[in-house]
């Protein structure tokens, strides 16, 4: 039974990742194919050219965003979106989400913290997402910080305003800490077991 479960633990995550990858490639291909056909004859079109065109476009947009004039244009567009109800909330939320996770790689800047849980005499891992506030002047707490608590095995979580004195910084990278929380510490335990097995072999 244990061997069967070990097999599932390998197959299921791999299958999910492959499914998502194929879905992204397939939809990117179908979306950009008509645009590629505007540039090349249909009989010369090769499967995958649409996906490559999408990757090149994303990379090209990333390069353009380094220029001042493009940054100003982006800011003007975002200002227009901010004035549009509902759309502004969706766009802002997605932008903040990607910006947050893109900043996880290799970060060790005291953003990973421990917060006391007096009722359980325990601690919970959190992530400091903000230290300065423009819209919250009446918190009535000394040096407030906004701490995000991620739920294990879920995308969701919740944010809490806390006094800076109530948090304890942890010397841990953001990406490593997020993975630790989302898997309830299981990923770290599995890595330790794999390392011990490799040493024994």
pLDDT in tens, 126-161: 888 777 776 676 777 777 888 888 877 666 788 888
- The C-alpha atoms of residue 166 and residue 68 are separated, in whole angstroms, by 41
- pLDDT at residue 135 in the model: 67
Single pTM value for the model: 0.51
- The C-alpha atoms of residue 124 and residue 107 are separated, in whole angstroms, by 19
- pLDDT at residue 31 in the model: 92
Contact 181, 152 (CB under 8 A): yes
Is pLDDT above 70 for 47?
yes
Contact 153, 180 (CB under 8 A): no
Is pLDDT above 60 for 109?
no
Closest CA to 163 of 146, 134, 140, 142: 142
Q: Where are the domains of the chain?
A: 2-102, 112-197
Buried b (16+ CB within 10 A) or exposed e, 50-87: bbebbeeeeeeeeeeeeeeeeeeeeeeeeeeeeeeeee
Cα separation values, 82 from 29, 75, 99, Å = 31, 10, 17
pLDDT in tens, 48-88: 899 999 999 989 988 888 888 888 888 888 888 888 877 87
């Amino acid at each position: 039974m244990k061997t069967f479960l070990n097999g599932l633990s390998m197959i299921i995550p791999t299958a999910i990742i492959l499914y998502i990858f194929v879905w992204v490639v397939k939809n990117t291909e179908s979306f950009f194919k008509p645009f590629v056909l505007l540039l090349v004859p249909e009989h010369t079109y090769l499967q995958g050219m649409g996906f490559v065109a999408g990757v090149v476009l994303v990379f090209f947009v990333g390069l353009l965003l380094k220029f001042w004039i493009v940054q100003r244009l982006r800011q003007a567009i975002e200002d227009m979106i901010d004035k549009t109800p509902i759309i502004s909330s969706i766009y802002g939320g997605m932008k903040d989400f990607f910006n947050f996770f893109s900043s996880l790689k290799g970060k060790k800047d005291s953003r990973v913290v421990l917060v006391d849980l007096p009722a359980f005499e325990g601690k919970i891992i959190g992530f400091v997402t903000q230290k300065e506030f423009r819209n919250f002047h009446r918190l009535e707490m000394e040096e407030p910080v906004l701490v995000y608590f991620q739920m294990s095995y879920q995308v969701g979580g919740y944010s809490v305003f806390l006094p800076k004195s109530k948090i304890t910084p942890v010397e841990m990278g953001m990406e490593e800490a997020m993975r630790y929380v989302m898997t309830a510490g299981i990923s770290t335990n599995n890595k330790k077991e794999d390392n011990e097995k490799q040493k024994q072999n």
